[in-house]
Amino acid sequence: MYIKQVICNCNINMMNGYDLSNDYVIAELVKDQILENIFSFLNLKDLKNCMLVCKTWFRILGDENNELWRFHCIRRLSEEVLRSDLLSNLPTYKTKLRAFLHAWSPNDCSRNIYIKPNGFTLHRNPVAQSTDACRGKIGFSRGRHAWEVIWEGPLGTVAVIGVSTKQAPLQCQGYVGLLGSDESSWGWNLVDNILLHNGDTQGDYPMMNNSPKYQVGERVRVILDCDSGTLCFEKKYEFLGVAFRNLPFNTKLYPTVSAVYGNTEVSMVYVGLPLDG
């Protein structure tokens, strides 16, 4: 009712002759600039619902690079990260905002890890004889999803990227492949190119002769297909093959990494639906 009242007050002359008891008529007649101004006061959940009101609202909210999404983006993200190369693969304000909402969770990580002010990068404190992990804010149980992981510090003896459920541990003693150490996590150790799950090695990965080792700063794209139950990886836009099959259905899987090296940093950027081909 509040939105309807504001709209009517702003457009009373334009709406003369129309049935103002019809919410659909009001929604369709309002100028885009006025709608964008009103939408800027709504939270993201309300904006999602607004997209279902009519074609006009869907068109405005579907423009991922308009002033509305710019406003919501700069309200949550720092100017430094918006100007950095970290989000260079995300072309619009809405995709940048979505990536921020999917980034590392400060409430779902080892006590030896903290999330840096940019919101996308975790920092592992130099704690001896400890392996530490962190999960993303949002888990997935349906659809296809892709995100990029950039290891921005030394790998140490074990550096694992992959997925886990909420049941997987986030800290343990010693320097081990924590991600992949139980039945609730699946990981690729970038140091020696092996797959880990349920405490066992699952073979070499990728399956190629003289596979190059990961270099610090490279972007690895993780591709999770919840509908087919597979986990894959890409590096330098080259598809490396299916790493894991038969992942559990109807179970939320979260982007996860585990690290052992002190002061190492790892960034994660959610990119959305993976591109085929």
C-alpha atoms less than 13 angstroms from C-alpha of 87 in its C-beta half-sphere: 25
Q: Which residue has the higher pLDDT, 126 or 11?
A: 126
Least confident among 74-83, 112-121, 149-158, 163-172: 74-83
Max distance between CA atoms of the chain, in angstroms, equals: 75
Q: What is the pLDDT of residues 187-234, one digit of tens each?
A: 999 999 999 999 999 999 998 777 888 999 999 999 999 999 999 999
Q: What is the pLDDT of residues 14-47, one digit of tens each?
A: 445 444 455 555 666 777 788 878 888 888 788 8
Query: What residue segments make up the domains of the chain, in order of their start?
Result: 28-97, 106-272
Average pLDDT over residues 127-136: 97
Q: Read off the tokens for 232.
A: 């894959």
Angstrom distances, CA of residue 71 to CA of 42, 67, 97, 221, 257: 11, 6, 10, 28, 31
Cis peptide before 206 (omega within 30 of 0): yes
pLDDT of 53 reads 79
Q: What is the pLDDT of residues 91-120, one digit of tens each?
A: 999 999 999 999 999 999 999 999 999 999
Name, in order, each residue with C-beta under 8 angstroms of 228's C-beta and a sequence gap of 6 or more.
none
Q: Comparing 28-97 with 106-272, is the CATH topology the same?
A: no
Tell me the whole-structure pTM to 2 decimals: 0.85
pLDDT of 7 reads 47
Assign a CATH topology to domain 106-272.
Answer: Jelly Rolls (2.60.120)
Q: In angstroms, rounded to a whole number, what is the distance separating the alpha carbons of residues 93 and 95?
A: 6
pLDDT of 1 reads 45
pLDDT of 25 reads 58
Q: In angstroms, rounded to a whole number, what is the distance separating the alpha carbons of residues 10 and 30?
A: 9
Distance of CA 188 to the CA centre of its chain: 19
- CATH numeric code, 28-97: 1.20.1280
